[in-house]
Chains A and B, each alone.
Chain A
Amino acid sequence: MEHYNMNLNLKVWRQQNKNTKGTFKMYRVENISSEMSFLEMFDVLNEQLIKDGENPVAFDHDCREGICGSCSMYINGKPHGPWQANTTCQLHMRAFKDGDTIVVEPWRADAFPVIKDLMVDRSAFDRIIQAGGYISVNTGNAVDGNTLPIEKQKADDAFAAAMCIGCGACVAACKNSSAMLFLSAKVSHLALLPQGAPERTTRVQNMVAQMDKEGFGSCTNTGACEATCPKEISITNIARLNSEYIAASFAD
């Protein structure tokens, strides 16, 4: 792989806190190596800003290996930037070339209020899980793990849904700010497994109700969520959620 250096213009959303109005600011970073990750490029910018006596750009990040779901930048009109099935922290600078202008915005949805700059409050996701995204089994109750064989295909499908990292890119990508891909991934994960069956009805009811309460929009199946999801969670899960919901609505 050939490496190269580049100079870039960054147009970054700056916002002091959730009560103030934000605005875009232009910055220039130089000698950025194509081997850097996108967040490392932001580290360079922040070091530069601190040296210049300015406030660095606040953004969420933690594991920097694409699994914790913290990072949340909307880069050049796409959550997590131009690569497919990718998180911001795994985006590398070879995706850009010298002289590019990169526009970086926070996730935008009223259910995800901006805390500062590119950092948003995604606690709504936790509250959706609290509404029923679990199997009610206390520690110590379990029977032997192999007493309940699970069809491999079902286990694999459940795993594919459970891969969701809760980053919120689906909400950010959706024109309706809908959280249906996130919600349906959890509902599918638990609905596909026999362990999830006893709470199937109430789970989907309560989780949908909580999602509505949090102020997310409804799903119009545009597929933008699936296209941007770093873990490639399938939109089929949304259809499965709908069928779970219909079944639940007939339950007494």
Chain B
Amino acid sequence: MTWKQVFTSSVGKKLVMGFTGIFLVLFLIVHVGLNACIWAAAYDPADQGQMFNKAAHFMGSNVLPRILEIGLFAGFFLHIFQGYLLTLENRKKRSTGYAVAYADGSKWYSRSMAILGTLLLMFLVMHIYHFWTPSRLGGIGTVQPLEEVFYNGVKHHNLYAEMRDVFVGNTLIVALYVLACGSLAYHLLHGFQSAFKTIGIHNKKISGLINSVGVGFSIIVPLLFALMPLSFYFGWIK
């Protein structure tokens, strides 16, 4: 079996979804951990986002994260592209549908991964526009560069201030972010354990563990993400 045969088979296509999915889960861990630094401001009013900005600076200036970032974009692209392709392909396998749908054999969100994913894609575009573009492409064309701060004489983007600008007083944006976190939660609730099944984990003890961790992850991570815009919006951090 050639690699081409592997990755064009139905199982191979799913493997791409599974592996990119797990990769994106790992990214979420990094992302949520890093962003959680904003709450340093809640304990130390003098922080003013310094911890967060430093962490972001590290990610933006070190070469390793920059290489991983390319992988990240590739991962997103593959996951999204393959996801849509599979959804379309799978739809075509039943040209005459049922008059009564089979609803209670599976969870609604496991059947709605494409819709949840589409919501996340729309969010992703907005999210990139809000933070990634000014940070990476600021100064190019019409994109405004970010405000800058100096810590120990080193220039840092003040992403903390950017967050504050985006969220404070912007009810609609905050609502969209919270909604996206909801989509993410359900997407993960199915996707997390499904990805591990797809890559072949079938040991009962391990899959039991993965299922529990998956549920925890799907609740905690999106909740933390959702708390970030809310923290600014409600002024828990300033």
Contact = CB atoms under 8 A, between A and B. Distances in A.
B76 to A, nearest CB: 19
B104 A246 contact: no
Closest CB pairs A-B (n = 9): A243-B200, A77-B100, A227-B105, A239-B202, A176-B90, A218-B10, A224-B105, A222-B106, A177-B93
B106 A105 contact: no
A128 interface: no
Contact of B105 (A103, A178, A216, A223): A223
Contact of A175 (B9, B90, B95): B90
Given A105-B99, A212-B9, A218-B86, A238 B197 contact: yes
A242 B101 CA distance: 28
B6 A249 contact: yes
B90 A227 contact: no
Interface string A218-252: 11111111011000000111111111111011010
A248 to B, nearest CB: 7
B10 A211 contact: yes
A37 B148 CA distance: 77
Contacts of A239: 196-198, 200-202, 207
A24 to B, nearest CB: 7
Given A217-B89, A236-B202, 12 more contacts: A105-B99, A108-B97, A110-B92, A176-B90, A208-B10, A216-B93, A218-B11, A219-B198, A220-B194, A221-B197, A236-B204, A243-B202
Contact of B15 (A108, A110, A246): A246
Given A76-B100, A218-B90, A236 B207 contact: yes
A60 B210 CA distance: 41
Interface of A: 11, 22, 24, 74, 76-79, 103, 105, 108-111, 173, 175-178, 205, 208-209, 211-212, 215-225, 227-228, 235-246, 248-249, 251
B200 A242 contact: yes
B198 A221 contact: yes
A111 B198 CA distance: 23
Contacts of B10: 178, 208, 211-212, 216-219
Contacts of A238: 197
A178 B10 CA distance: 10
A175 B99 CA distance: 13
B199 A242 contact: yes
Contacts of A78: 102, 104-105
Contacts of A108: 94, 96-98
Given A222-B111, A242-B15, A246-B199, A177 B102 contact: no
A242 B1 contact: no
B36 to A, nearest CB: 30
Interface string B74-114: 00000000000010011011111111111111110011010
Interface string B42-78: 0000000000000000000000000000000000000
11 contacts: A77-B103, A108-B96, A205-B1, A212-B9, A218-B89, A219-B11, A221-B190, A223-B110, A228-B102, A244-B200, A248-B1
B200 A245 contact: yes
B187 interface: no
Nearest to A77: B100
Interface string B32-47: 0000000000000000
B106 A223 contact: yes
B13 A218 contact: yes
A2 to B, nearest CB: 27
Contacts of A177: 90, 93-94
Contacts of B207: 236, 239
Interface in B108-130: 110-111, 113
B157 interface: no
B93 A109 contact: yes
Contacts of B156: none
Nearest to A235: B197
A217 B15 contact: no
Contacts of A241: 11
Contact of B200 (A105, A215, A240): A240
